[in-house]
A and B are shown apart, each in its own frame.
Chain A
Amino acid sequence: MGREVEIKICMGTGGLAAGGRAVMNAFAEGLKAEGIDAKVSENCSIHQVGCRGFCARDVLVDVIIDGKRTTYQYIKPEMVEQIIKNHIIGGEVVQDWTVKEDYQAFHDKQVKVVLADCGEVDPEDIDSYISRRGYEALQKVFREMTPEKVINTIEASGLRGRGGAGFPTGVKWDFARRNPGDVKYIICNADEGDPGAFMDRSVIEGNPHSVIEGMIIGAYAIGAHHGYVYIRAEYPLAVERLKIALEQARQRGFLGRDILGSGFDFDIKIKLGAGAFVCGEETALIASIEGKRGMPRPKPPFPAQKGLWGKPTVINNVETLANVPAIIRNGALWFAKFGTEKSKGTKVFALTGKVNNTGLIEVPMGISLREIIYDIGGGIEGGRKLKAVQTGGPSGGCIPAEYIDISVDYESLARMGSIVGSGGMVVMDETDCMVNIAKYFLEFTQAESCGKCVPCRIGTKRLLEILSRITDGRGRPGDIDLLVTLSEDVKAGSLCGLGQTAPNPVLSTIKYFRDEYEAHIHEKRCPAGVCKNLLTYTIIEEFCKGCTMCARVCPAGAIVGEKKQPHHIVQEICIKCGACFETCKFKAIKKG
Chain B
Amino acid sequence: MKRIMALMDEIKEMSRRYPDRRAALLPGLYLAQREYGWLSQEAYEVVSKALNLPPATVKGVATFYAMYKKQPMGRHLIQLCTNVACMIMGAERLVDLLKERYGLEPGGTTKDGRFSLVIMECIGACDRAPAMLVDRDFHSDLKEDNIFEILEQYK
Contacts and interface: CB of A to CB of B under 8 A. Distances in A.
Instruction: Tell me the dominant secondary structure on chain A's binding face.
Output: mixed
B125 interface: yes
A201 B121 contact: no
Given A17-B140, A195-B83, A432-B88, A293 B124 contact: no
A508 interface: no
A447 B121 contact: yes
Given A274-B66, A291-B26, A198 B126 contact: yes
A528 to B, nearest CB: 11
B65 A13 contact: no
A537 interface: no
A390 B121 CA distance: 17
A235 B124 contact: yes
Contacts of A328: none
Contact of B136 (A236, A351, A352): A236
B139 interface: yes
Given A13-B138, A195-B83, A309-B20, A293 B61 contact: yes
B138 A293 contact: no
Interface string A353-392: 1100011100000000000000000000000000000100
Interface string B94-134: 00000000000000000000000000111111111101010
B129 A352 contact: yes
Given A235-B124, A290-B23, A352-B126, A426 B65 contact: no
A56 interface: yes
Interface in A450-483: 450
B84 A440 contact: yes
A428 B27 contact: no
A447 B119 CA distance: 12
Given A235-B124, A291-B25, A276 B140 contact: no
B30 interface: yes
Interface in B28-67: 29-30, 60-61, 64-67
A448 interface: yes
A194 interface: yes
Contacts of A507: none
A291 B20 contact: yes
Contact of A55 (B22, B89, B127, B136): B127
B85 interface: yes
A195 B84 contact: yes
Given A13-B138, A276-B64, A201 B126 contact: no
B88 A353 contact: yes
B85 A17 contact: no
A235 B137 CA distance: 10
Contacts of B138: 13, 16-17, 237
Contacts of A291: 20, 22-26, 61
A18 B140 CA distance: 8
Contacts, number: 139
A434 to B, nearest CB: 11
A228 to B, nearest CB: 10
Interface string B2-36: 00000000000000010110111111011000000
A359 B27 CA distance: 33
Contacts of B88: 353-354, 426, 428, 432, 437
B64 A197 contact: no
Contacts of A13: 124-125, 138
Contacts of B151: none
B127 A426 contact: no
Nearest to A355: B127
A448 B121 CA distance: 9
B127 A193 contact: no
Given A289-B23, A440-B87, A234 B124 contact: yes
A196 B138 CA distance: 16
B82 to A, nearest CB: 8
A274 B127 contact: no
Contact of B140 (A14, A195, A271): A14
A195 B121 contact: yes
A292 B17 CA distance: 17
17 contacts: A18-B128, A193-B121, A194-B122, A195-B122, A196-B122, A234-B123, A274-B29, A275-B65, A276-B65, A291-B61, A293-B60, A295-B64, A351-B127, A426-B84, A426-B85, A428-B88, A444-B121
The 6 nearest A-B residue pairs measured at CB: A275-B66, A274-B65, A291-B25, A275-B67, A198-B124, A195-B83
Given A197-B124, A273-B67, A426-B84, 14 more contacts: A17-B125, A195-B121, A196-B83, A197-B122, A274-B67, A276-B66, A290-B20, A291-B22, A291-B24, A294-B64, A309-B19, A424-B126, A432-B88, A450-B64
Interface of A: 13-14, 16-18, 55-56, 192-198, 201, 232-237, 269, 271-277, 288-295, 309, 350-354, 358-360, 390, 424, 426, 428, 432, 437, 440-441, 444, 447-448, 450
